[in-house]
Amino acid sequence: MSFPALTPEQLQLRDLAADVARKVYRPQAAQWDAERTPLAKAEVQRLAALGFLGIALPEELGGAGGTLLDALIVIEELAKECQPAAFQVFEANVGPARVIEFFGTDEQKKKYLPRVATGDVTMAIGISEPDAGSAATDMRTRAFLDSDHYIVNGTKRWISNGGHADHYLLYCRMADVPGASGIGAIIVPADTPGLTFGPREYLMGWRSIPSADLIFTDAQVPAENLVIPPGGFSKLIRVFAIERLGNSTMSLAIGQAALDRTVAYVQQREQFGRPLIDFQNIQMMIAEMKMQVDAARLLIARAAVNAGRGLPSPLEVSLAKCFANEMARHVSDLAMQAHGGNGYTEEFGLERLHRDAHGWAIAGGTPAMQRIRIASELTGRRFSQRQQVPS
């Protein structure tokens, strides 16, 4: 992450993350992807020992007390070489742990956040369902209080690190009212009786980031695990803006990696007795790639810098995510074209970047949904996508 406001400490952090990415993860990333190997616990502990898992978490809770930008710097450098390694930093610094930081009880913060920073607790988020993706407020998974625990029933789908994380921040319906008003969130340990996992999904990209359904059948969760009561969906979405910036940064890393590899390739690869860079079409191509990557970087940096250690602007986040997601798909595609037949092989790694780029454009709210949010924020109006029933 290069930005005029980077401090000497942030530059040092970036260099450290880049060095780890090159030396530790670059040699293994392609094999892990091909074999769909999840990041081992030892690697999670390595990231924790480097201080990467607690960058943006409060100092009094075991973190470094850094800014959102600090976390994004590390995520980008790791994601250029190894998306599953970056995803562990993502989940700890821009994922469900941040909901606990902002809205959890003091007991929950003390119980979970220090252990997230040390890598002893891994958390994933459960929002989407088989019939509730972009329309998240259609979720049907229910959690109702019964004495000193909640009884949970339902199915969650598209859960990154599903079946692999040891805790889940579950968004669910907690009151018999429609829409967002009945939705809250609760922490569910992976070993909760009544929670089972579906078979691992085989996705086009993200092959080393496990994904599986969460299936709840009268699962019993302690009442003290409640983080957000029903009616708090707006709070959840506010914090989810941080996760969307992490998503944007994963896309940025794909674009930057594709650009870096292409600039190097077109200067050493020859055709018709000349380096590819001598051809005007290639010059136009890498110029387009550079403009797209830098524009995405500035949109992300604006949102992150303005947020500091707080919550970012929803408008700035949607602008960054929409642009970065589409940039990553476009730039990785151009990189494949510039590499010709080599770009279509696994050897050069561009097809892996392109596959992963499509995943980030789907996760966390598609570019189409971000455009609706942008229009909503600009006009101060809410736009329903539901069919209007005549009165």
Extents of the domains making up the chain: 8-121, 124-231, 234-379
Residue pLDDT, tens place only, 219-264: 999 999 999 999 988 888 889 999 999 999 999 999 999 999 999 9
What contacts 100, CB < 8 A, 6 or more positions away?
A: 108, 109, 112, 113, 169, 187, 227
Determine the pLDDT at residue 387.
Answer: 66
Percentage of the chain lying above the pLDDT 70 cut: 97
User: How confident is the model over 97-102, as a mean pLDDT?
Assistant: 95
Alpha carbon distance 127, 141 (integer Å): 9
pLDDT band at 205 (very low <50, low <70, confident <90, very high): very high
The residues, any chain, with a CB within 8 Å of residue 155's CB and separated by 6 or more, are: 129, 130, 141, 198, 213, 214, 215, 216
Backbone angles phi, psi at 53, to 5 degrees: -80, -15
CB 266 within 8 A of CB 276: yes
Would you state the pLDDT for residue 176?
Answer: 87
Q: Is the pLDDT of residue 287 over 70?
A: yes
Predicted confidence band of residue 31 (pLDDT cuts 50, 70, 90): very high
| pLDDT tens, position by position, 32-60 | 999 999 999 999 999 999 999 999 999 99
Task: Report, at the CATH architecture level, how domain 124-231 is classified.
Answer: Beta Barrel (2.40)
Topology, domain 8-121: Butyryl-Coa Dehydrogenase, subunit A; domain 1 (1.10.540)
Is the pLDDT at 3 greater than 60? The verdict is no
pLDDT grade for 131, boundaries at 50, 70 and 90: confident
Name residues whose C-beta falls within 8 Å of residue 161's C-beta, 6 or more positions apart in sequence: 87, 91, 122, 124, 209, 210, 211
Give residue 177's pLDDT: 86
Q: Give residue 386's pLDDT band: very low, low, confident or very high (50, 70, 90).
A: low
For the record, the structure tokens of 354 come out as 């392109």
**Nearest-5° Cα angle at 215, 101 to 116:** 25
| Alpha carbons 50 and 23: distance in angstroms, whole number | 14
pTM over 0.85: yes
Instruction: Return the CATH number of the domain spanning residue range 234-379.
Output: 1.20.140.10
pLDDT at residue 1 greater than cutoff 70:
no
3-state secondary structure of 197: strand
